[in-house]
């Protein structure tokens, strides 16, 4: 079976060739259209002047009809060309992701960074070089939000995670569908803004436009006025007063409702997004899936008449196209004669009455699909990674676990059980302590999102995770880094006292104070968390804390990293070993920095 790289390359070449052929066809068609119109126009003039006016008119009309047909064909080919280009770019991006060039992707999720979140900032979930930047393909506003929720919120039950696993695995195997689904989103012209405005609009039906009397007069008045206009042009028996009276009445009706224009403009502003939602839902609803979660999403898209959501949104899209005509220079005349704005409002309110309340849930379905499609990338790109088992027994067991964002990450085995739930990690500078903590944390995030993890085998229970790793001061709030760390630790202690299944990651705690207080404070904190039944990992340079393994009767266990020297060079193997660290390298690193320590 072909690997992900080979499949991406093969499909990139396929769409690259298709794009090149289509571009050549469009160029030939442009030349043909120009040549045909010039020849047709010249022939029409020649026949008109030299032979027969009628024949000249016929050739001119034929030329115009063919020209319009060529224009429409050209437009359809340009749309097709853009869609093929989107697919080509999708596979280009996929190859860049495999090659480790994903940190150049423009959407890093910087707007989702939240220093107050229990773990997202410390685990690099959002921002530059983040998990979000690595996997995100969501383009709709709610799709990005849903992926953020998937990465930063822990599901409350095991069943939710397992159903997501099944759905993500199936989506991973549907590469073509995923890329076409993404291409539909990329066809939107410009960034897709929050749909909250149109969702709220769709919920509120103005029933005054649906009254029988309004419907009758909205249809009858234009017919009467247009009839008077035609009769005035045809027969002298009808004076201009009749059509003028109708035009005045209809003008007063139109200009009496200022709110109507705002409503129509609001819908028109979402015109491109509506078309995109329609195409994305159509892709989903016309595809058969086996996973129960995907079937459930699809089932929720049908109305009481078993009409699919994409057809209902297509109707809204059609109404939005009618509203677009308001931008036309001659629209004012058409609007007055036909009560066009009123007709559009009747169509919109009728649509809202039948389908409006479902719009929000439809867009939530698209968002869910975008988020799961992003997570499915991990499954497809790394088929060797393990699908985590979600256990009811508290703890974490991992075989050959590595960091998913690090190329060539060194893997380690790890086990954390309830009766020995705290690992104390020691080691010299740059040996891998902090990276190990982030490795465990980010793989838990993936496991809870329903994705594979960077491990040969991985099992865990549902744990509420808290971290204290990157803490900085806040000058605006007059908070020092040490006090900020205390506030973070207070949050963790409070959670351990009031909640169950707490998992914490602490990196070099109390590093902002003197060594004696740091040691005493760290010891008290670890003992308190252990007594509360919390599980977690603590990295530290305080080797004296290693005595806690004996004092706690191995409820707290020691592990360490080490370095070695060869030809006066320092090397790290990043392998986790039991016991306390026995090596140091600070003085060596100080010398490497060019600082004279001979004295």
Residue-wise pLDDT tens digits, 268-326: 888 889 999 999 999 999 999 999 999 999 998 987 677 899 999 999 999 988 887 76
Do 273 and 193 form a contact (C-beta atoms < 8 A)?
A: yes
The more confidently predicted of residues 554 and 466 is 466
List Cβ neighbours of 180 (8 Å cut-off, separation of 6 or more).
Answer: 87, 283
Say what the pLDDT of residue 1 is: 65
Give which of 133, 131, 143 is closest to 184, Cα–Cα.
143
Angle at 502 between CA 501 and CA 504, to 5 degrees: 145
The H or E element that residue 271 is part of is: helix 271-285
Say what the pLDDT of residue 396 is: 96
Give which of 125, 174, 186, 132 is closest to 379, Cα–Cα.
174
The span from the CA of 129 to the CA of 579, in Å, is 33
pTM (predicted TM-score): 0.89
The span from the CA of 83 to the CA of 463, in Å, is 43
Please name the residue that has the structure tokens 């599901």: 155
Say what the pLDDT of residue 9 is: 96
Report residue 419 as tokens. 């009766």
The more confidently predicted of residues 359 and 479 is 359
Say what the pLDDT of residue 395 is: 94
Angle at 367 between CA 363 and CA 373, to 5 degrees: 140
For residue 126, pLDDT beyond 70: yes
Residue-wise pLDDT tens digits, 562-586: 887 777 677 788 899 999 987 665 5
Residue-wise pLDDT tens digits, 163-194: 999 999 999 999 999 999 999 999 988 778 89
pLDDT band at 500 (very low <50, low <70, confident <90, very high): confident
Say what the pLDDT of residue 341 is: 87
List Cβ neighbours of 568 (8 Å cut-off, separation of 6 or more).
Answer: none
Which is it for strands 422-426 and 502-507: parallel, antiparallel or unpaired? unpaired
Angle at 379 between CA 373 and CA 381, to 5 degrees: 100
Q: What is the DSSP letter of 460?
A: E
Question: What is the number of residues in the chain?
Answer: 599
- Residue 272 has phi, psi (to 5 degrees) of -65, -40
pLDDT band at 257 (very low <50, low <70, confident <90, very high): low
Say what the pLDDT of residue 425 is: 94
Say what the pLDDT of residue 475 is: 55
Please name the residue that has the structure tokens 């899936």: 289
Residue 284: C-alpha distances to residues 194, 280, 369 (Å):
21, 7, 9
Number of H helices and number of E strands within the chain?
Answer: 21, 12
Say what the pLDDT of residue 478 is: 47
Give which of 539, 161, 571, 576 is closest to 402, Cα–Cα.
576
The span from the CA of 501 to the CA of 421, in Å, is 11
For residue 590, pLDDT beyond 60: no
What would the mean pLDDT of 204-221 be, rounded to a whole number?
89
CATH number for the 389-592 domain, one of 3.30.420.40, 3.40.50.11860, 3.30.70.870, 3.40.50.300?
Answer: 3.40.50.300
Give which of 422, 410, 417 is closest to 575, Cα–Cα.
410
Compute the Cα dihedral for 173, 175, 176, 179 and give only its sign.
positive
Say what the pLDDT of residue 85 is: 96
The span from the CA of 473 to the CA of 87, in Å, is 45
For residue 247, pLDDT beyond 90: no
The span from the CA of 365 to the CA of 281, in Å, is 9
pLDDT band at 12 (very low <50, low <70, confident <90, very high): very high
Return the HEC string of 465-532. Answer: EEEECCCCCEHHHCECHHHHHHHHHHHHHHHHHHCCCEEEEEECCCCCCCHHHHHHHHHHHHHHHHHC
For residue 329, pLDDT beyond 70: no
Give which of 539, 538, 571, 586 is closest to 410, Cα–Cα.
571
The span from the CA of 445 to the CA of 152, in Å, is 7
pLDDT band at 2 (very low <50, low <70, confident <90, very high): confident
Say what the pLDDT of residue 477 is: 58
For residue 473, pLDDT beyond 60: no
The H or E element that residue 536 is part of is: strand 535-540
Residue 426: C-alpha distances to residues 150, 469, 521, 544, 585 (Å):
32, 15, 17, 10, 13
Average pLDDT in the chain: 89
For the chain, which residues make up each domain, given as ranges?
4-98, 205-359, 389-592
Query: Per mean pLDDT, which of 337-346, 378-387, 418-427, 491-500 is the most reliable?
Result: 378-387
Angle at 445 between CA 444 and CA 451, to 5 degrees: 95
Residue 122: C-alpha distances to residues 118, 407, 452, 512 (Å):
9, 19, 21, 18
């Amino acid at each position: 079976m072909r690997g992900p790289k080979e499949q991406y390359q093969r499909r990139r070449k396929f769409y690259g060739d298709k794009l090149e052929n289509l571009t050549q066809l469009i160029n030939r068609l442009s030349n043909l259209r120009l040549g045909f119109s010039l020849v047709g126009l010249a022939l029409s003039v020649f026949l008109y002047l030299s032979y027969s006016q009628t024949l000249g008119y016929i050739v001119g009309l034929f030329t115009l009809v063919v020209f319009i047909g060529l224009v429409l064909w050209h437009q359809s080919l340009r749309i097709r060309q853009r869609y093929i280009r989107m697919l080509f770019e999708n596979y280009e991006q996929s190859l860049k992701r495999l090659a480790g060039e994903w940190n150049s992707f423009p959407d890093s999720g910087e707007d989702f960074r939240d220093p107050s979140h229990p773990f997202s900032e410390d685990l690099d979930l959002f921002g530059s070089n983040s998990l979000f930047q690595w996997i995100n393909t969501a383009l709709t506003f709610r799709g990005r939000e849903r992926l953020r929720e998937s990465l930063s919120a822990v599901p409350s039950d095991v069943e939710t995670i397992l159903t997501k696993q099944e759905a993500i695995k199936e989506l991973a195997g549907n590469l073509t569908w995923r890329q076409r689904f993404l291409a539909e989103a990329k066809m939107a012209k410009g960034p897709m803004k929050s749909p909250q405005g149109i969702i709220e609009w769709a919920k509120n039906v103005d029933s005054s436009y649906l009254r029988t009397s309004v419907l009758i007069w909205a249809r009858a008045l234009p017919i009467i006025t247009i009839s008077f206009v035609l009769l005035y042009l045809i027969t002298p028996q009808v004076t201009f007063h009749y059509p003028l009276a109708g035009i005045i009445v209809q003008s007063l009706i139109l200009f009496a409702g200022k709110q109507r224009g705002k409503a129509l403009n609001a819908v028109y502003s979402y015109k491109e997004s509506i078309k995109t939602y329609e195409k994305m839902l159509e892709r989903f609803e016309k595809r058969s899936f086996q996973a129960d979660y995907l079937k459930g999403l699809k089932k929720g898209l049908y109305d009481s008449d078993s009409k699919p959501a994409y057809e209902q949104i297509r109707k809204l899209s059609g109404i939005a196209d009618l509203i677009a005509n308001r931008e036309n220079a001659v629209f004012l005349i058409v609007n007055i004669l036909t009560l066009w704005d009123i007709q559009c409002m009747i169509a919109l309110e009728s649509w809202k009455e039948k389908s409006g309340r479902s719009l929000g849930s439809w867009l939530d379905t698209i968002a869910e699909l975008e988020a799961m499609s992003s997570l499915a990338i991990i499954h497809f790109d790394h088929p060797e990674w393990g699908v985590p088992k979600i256990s009811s027994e508290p703890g974490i067991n991992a075989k050959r676990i590595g960091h998913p964002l690090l190329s060539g990450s060194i893997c380690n085995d790890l086990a954390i059980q309830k009766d020995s739930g705290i690992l104390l990690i020691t080691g010299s500078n740059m040996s891998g302590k902090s990276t190990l903590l982030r490795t465990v944390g980010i793989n838990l995030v993936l496991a809870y999102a329903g994705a594979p993890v960077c491990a040969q085998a991985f099992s865990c229970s549902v744990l509420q995770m808290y971290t204290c790793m990157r803490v900085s001061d806040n000058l605006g709030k007059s908070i020092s880094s040490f006090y900020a760390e205390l506030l973070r630790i207070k949050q963790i202690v409070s959670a351990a006292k009031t909640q169950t299944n707490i998992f914490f990651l602490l990196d070099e705690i109390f590093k902002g104070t003197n060594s004696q207080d740091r040691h005493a404070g760290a010891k008290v904190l670890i003992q308190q968390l252990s007594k509360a039944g919390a599980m977690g990992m603590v990295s530290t340079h305080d080797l004296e804390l290693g005595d806690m393994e004996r004092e706690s009767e191995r409820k707290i266990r020691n592990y360490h990293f080490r370095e070695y020297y060869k030809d006066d060079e320092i090397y790290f193997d990043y392998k986790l070993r039991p016991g306390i660290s026995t090596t140091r390298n600070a003085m060596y690193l100080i010398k490497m920095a060019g600082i004279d320590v001979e004295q």
